[in-house]
């Protein structure tokens, strides 16, 4: 899930240039590299004049319309520039567009430092008296943003805070670019690739010596790490992958951590984690640490047991009774174990889920569940030829709701992970319809089990964005508390494997190989293995994040080594995991715990579909009570309204204990 670092993300913006006003519904602006700077400056100028108008309001004229509605117009204007450039910076195939988009992104990110530090503007929002609960939430969220930017500080501290915010935005961008632009290539002779599926070699470019060339993109990572029998190949490839970002990114992260601590101290707090988490669901760093300890307690023994089982696999495969399990072995022996124990071969799964029918199936499942219809719209402009655009209509009245885009496959200079970009947030007040973009790096050879889950996960975010119907853009879709944002997406992963949803596959592709129910059963049974390894790793990432954001400045690499060394597989020399850990530089700092925190709610909400994943009655309630409401109500209240009871962590702890 992609979230921008600045307040602009939670807010949202839309500068209606004459050209865009004429654009079809759902279109995302595609300015050229030459046009971006001009449009960017114009958007900022318009925003400044809107800010000035609110700032100079006579206090007796302060009301919901003059402040909140005007604020919404400001947000929309900024988002209409910021949404597209944020997307293009990470996905445009043209390096010049990426560069211009990044420059604009930095300018837009700097703007809130101006107006959210303005006392006059702050006074106007504070003076606003509202009683409608949505207005109350919106007002409070804007006041929080003022506080976060340091409006209450003395003038010199305010200046320093501003400089820190600007520098943090730059560090975040430099870090992301380094990962996006990684062009490491490794070449292997066929003998070093024994076990790799033939599809991964077909059409692959070779070097002068006839060696196959591999990049570090996900599909290639999967093909090698899951299948190649030659340990030295896996070790070399895995190590290169773990070094993405390099020393330069470690230095950027170190600087960011120092600046975040300084920022928290400027704000009168002892550390960045406390300062940040007090505005989230968890409420305090202490609550997070307690939660992470509880997770560790539940998964520790299971992780060791699973790793032992993988070691036994390795001993059997290599014939070396003293063989030790290494990090580059984990995925390979998990695949072997799942093949032998559960008869699940990911290459068979891939053949069962070809790309186009699987996308059509996921859409069928989603549209049926939520009572909407998706139609491909070939007239919407796209930034790359294989990006597809769709419109969303309400099945009940046929009305247009929103649009979304799918950018599925890897290419050079593209964002390397999987994410949903909330390019445009809804505002019912303004009659504004939303648009989101799914950006992934899937294989073109169909989906394996993990990719299926990722597809549904990211599409869960997309639906949160495009089905949301909030009054204000700042509350739209994924504009929820950071430690709730993953709940709808994690919940939706389950629809990739439920018999009720899979039953619809034949409807979208009557000519496809029918879904083998036994394969699905075996896939689901195979999920029982690996939970300890998976959640122990998630706990480690979250604990690392918390360690970086506590009272003392630490060296991120050393902190990582210290923590990873205490895990059963230890730390592998020369690897530098933090150097590509983009979450901690791009919005999830002191927030990585949010994945598991959200999962508690995700699995609890999923229990409402326990009997039938395709229960459209429950689906419609979920759409209305969770997706449509975005951040208009506190997450705990949303979940309680949907479940008609207080939320419980029982389902989550059952899941991670492998029960």
List interacting residues with Zn ion (CB under 5 A): 1, 486, 489
Residue number with the smallest Cβ distance to Zn ion = 1
Residue 407 in tokens: 């950018």
Question: Could you give the angle at the alpha carbon of 441 between the alpha carbons of 23 and 228, nearest 5°?
Answer: 170
Rank residues 151 and 487 by Cβ distance to Zn ion and give the closer one: 487
Q: Look at the chain and count its residues.
A: 659
CB crowding 355-382: b at 16 or more within 10 Å, else e: bebbbbbbbbbbbbbbebbbeebeebeb
Shortest approach of Zn ion to residue 8 CB, angstroms? 19
Q: State the angle between helix axes of 133-149 and 155-180 in degrees (0 to 180), rounded to the nearest 10.
A: 90
563 and 543 Cβ atoms separated by less than 8 Å: yes
| Rounded least distance, CB 483 to Zn ion, Å | 12
Beta pairing class for 400-407 and 435-439: parallel
Q: Which of residues 14 and 602 has its CB atom nearest to Zn ion in the complex? A: 602
C-beta closer to Zn ion: residue 468 or 489:
489
Rounded Cα distance between 518 and 72, Å, is: 52
Element (H, E) at 420: strand 419-424
Cβ neighbour number for residue 653 with a 10 Å cutoff:
17
- Identify the bridge partners of residue 14 per DSSP, sorted by sequence position: 77
Task: Give the tokens for residue 542.
Answer: 């979250």
Q: How far is the CB of 420 from Zn ion (least distance, A)?
A: 7
Cross-sheet strand order for the sheet of 435-439 = 372-376, 388-394, 400-407, 435-439, 419-424
Backbone angles phi, psi at 570, to 5 degrees: 70, -170
How far is the C-alpha of 310 from the C-alpha of 234, rounded, in Å? 16
Question: Residue 180 or residue 457: which is nearer to Zn ion going by CB?
Answer: 457
Which residues does residue 188 pair with via DSSP β-bridges, in sequence order? 212
Nearest distance in Å: CB 224, Zn ion:
25
Residue 342: CA count within 13 A, CB half-sphere: 23
Contact 511, 234 (CB under 8 A): no
Least separation in angstroms between residue 478's CB and Zn ion is: 9
Which CB atom, from 222 or from 493, has the smaller least distance to Zn ion? 493
Residue number with CB closer to Zn ion (257 or 602): 602
| Nearest distance, CB of residue 34 and Zn ion, angstroms | 34
In whole angstroms, the minimum distance from the beta carbon of 417 to Zn ion comes to: 10
Helix (H) or strand (E) holding 220: helix 218-227
3-class secondary structure for 164-197?
HHHHHHHHHHHHHHHHHCCCCCEEECHHHHCCCC
The C-alpha atoms of residue 300 and residue 306 are separated, in whole angstroms, by 10
**Which is nearer to Zn ion, 1 or 423 (by Cβ)?**
1
Q: Return d(Cα 273, Cα 551) in angstroms, integer.
A: 9
CA angle 526, 306, 339 (to 5 degrees): 35
Q: Cβ of residue 469: shortest distance to Zn ion, in angstroms?
A: 21
Give the residue with the Cβ less far from Zn ion, 200 or 600: 600
Shortest separation between residue 481's beta carbon and Zn ion, angstroms? 14
Q: Are the C-beta atoms of residues 391 and 26 closer than 8 Å to each other?
A: yes
* Shortest distance in whole angstroms from residue 139 CB to Zn ion: 29
Least Cβ distance, residue 486 to Zn ion (angstroms): 5
Q: How far is the CB of 461 from Zn ion (least distance, A)?
A: 6
Q: Are 426 and 404 in contact (CB under 8 A)?
A: no
Whose Cβ is closer to Zn ion: residue 80's or residue 458's?
Answer: 458
Residue 479: exposed, middle, or buried by beta-carbon count in 10 A (0-12, 13-18, 19+)?
buried
Q: Which residue lies nearer to Zn ion by CB, 359 or 602?
A: 602
User: Any alpha helices (H) in 23-128, and if so which ranges?
Assistant: 35-55, 70-91, 95-115, 119-127
Backbone φ and ψ of 376, nearest 5°: -65, 140
What minimum distance in Å lies between the beta carbon of 587 and Zn ion?
11
Question: 254 vs 489, which CB is nearer to Zn ion?
Answer: 489
Residue 1 or 57 having the CB closest to Zn ion: 1
Of 227 and 489, nearer to Zn ion (C-beta) is 489
Beta carbon of residue 490, minimum distance to Zn ion (angstroms, whole number): 7
**Closer by beta carbon to Zn ion, 84 or else 594:** 594
3-state helix, strand, coil in the chain (%, to 5): 60, 5, 35
Work out the burial of residue 351: count CB atoms within 10 Å of its CB; fewer than 13 is exposed, 13-18 middle, 19 or more buried. Answer: middle
């Amino acid at each position: 899930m992609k979230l921008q670092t600045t307040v602009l993300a939670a807010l949202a913006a839309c500068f209606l240039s004459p050209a865009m006003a004429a654009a079809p519904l759902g279109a995302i602006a595609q300015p050229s590299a030459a046009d971006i700077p001009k449009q960017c400056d114009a958007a900022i100028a318009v925003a400044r004049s809107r800010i000035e108008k609110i700032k100079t309001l006579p206090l007796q004229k302060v009301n919901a319309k003059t402040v909140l509605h005007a604020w919404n117009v400001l947000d929309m204007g900024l988002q209409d520039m910021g949404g597209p450039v944020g997307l293009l910076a990470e996905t445009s195939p043209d390096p010049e567009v990426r560069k211009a988009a990044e420059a604009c992104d930095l300018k837009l990110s700097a703007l809130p430092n101006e107006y959210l530090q303005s006392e006059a503007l702050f006074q106007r929002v504070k003076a606003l008296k509202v009683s409608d609960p949505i207005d109350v939430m919106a007002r409070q969220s804007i006041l929080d943003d003022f506080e976060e930017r340091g409006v209450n500080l003395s003038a010199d501290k305010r200046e320093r805070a501003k400089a820190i915010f600007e520098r943090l935005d730059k560090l975040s961008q430099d870090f992301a670019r380094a990962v996006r632009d990684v062009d490491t290539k490794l070449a292997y002779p066929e003998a070093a690739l024994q076990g790799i599926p033939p599809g991964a070699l077909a059409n692959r470019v070779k070097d002068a010596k006839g060696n196959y060339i591999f990049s570090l993109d996900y599909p290639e990572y999967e093909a090698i790490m899951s299948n190649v029998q030659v340990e030295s190949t896996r070790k070399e490839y895995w190590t290169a992958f773990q070094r993405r970002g390099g020393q330069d990114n470690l230095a950027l992260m170190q600087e960011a951590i120092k600046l975040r601590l300084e920022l928290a101290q400027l704000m009168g707090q002892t550390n960045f984690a406390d300062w940040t988490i007090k505005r989230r669901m968890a409420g305090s760093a202490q609550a997070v640490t307690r939660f992470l300890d509880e997770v560790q307690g539940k998964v520790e023994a299971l992780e060791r047991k699973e790793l032992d089982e993988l070691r036994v696999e390795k001993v059997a495969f290599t014939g070396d009774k003293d063989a030790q399990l290494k990090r580059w072995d984990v995925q390979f022996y998990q695949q072997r174990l799942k093949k032998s124990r559960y008869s699940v071969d990911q290459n068979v799964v891939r053949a069962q889920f070809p790309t186009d029918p699987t996308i059509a199936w996921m859409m069928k499942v989603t549209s049926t569940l939520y009572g909407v219809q998706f139609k491909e719209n070939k007239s919407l402009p796209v930034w790359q030829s294989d990006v597809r655009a769709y419109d969303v209509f309400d099945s009940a009245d046929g009305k247009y709701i929103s649009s979304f885009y799918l950018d599925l496959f890897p290419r050079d200079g593209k964002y390397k992970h999987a994410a949903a970009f909330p390019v445009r947030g809804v505002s019912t007040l303004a009659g504004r319809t939303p648009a989101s973009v799914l950006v992934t790096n899937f294989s073109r050879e169909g989906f394996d089990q993990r990719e299926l889950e990722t597809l549904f996960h990211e599409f869960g975010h997309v639906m949160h964005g495009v089905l949301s119907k909030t009054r204000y853009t700042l509350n739209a879709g994924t504009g929820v508390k950071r430690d709730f944002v993953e709940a709808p997406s994690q919940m939706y992963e389950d629809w990739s494997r439920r018999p009720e949803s899979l039953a619809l596959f034949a409807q979208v592709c009557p000519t496809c190989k029918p879904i083998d129910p036994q394969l699905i059963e075996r896939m689901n049974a195979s999920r029982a293995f690996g939970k300890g390894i998976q959640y122990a790793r998630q706990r480690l990432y979250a604990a690392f994040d918390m360690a970086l954001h506590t009272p003392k400045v630490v060296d991120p690499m050393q902190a990582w080594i210290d923590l990873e060394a205490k895990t059963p597989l230890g730390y592998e020399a020369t690897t530098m995991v933090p150097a590509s850990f983009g979450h901690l530089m791009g919005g999830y700092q002191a927030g990585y715990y949010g994945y598991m925190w959200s999962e508690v709610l995700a699995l609890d909400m999923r229990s409402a579909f326990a009997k039938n994943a395709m229960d459209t009655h429950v689906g419609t309630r979920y759409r209305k009570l969770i997706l449509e409401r975005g951040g208009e109500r506190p997450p705990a209240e949303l979940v309680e309204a949907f479940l008609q009871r207080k939320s419980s962590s029982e389902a989550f702890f059952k899941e991670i204990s492998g029960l």
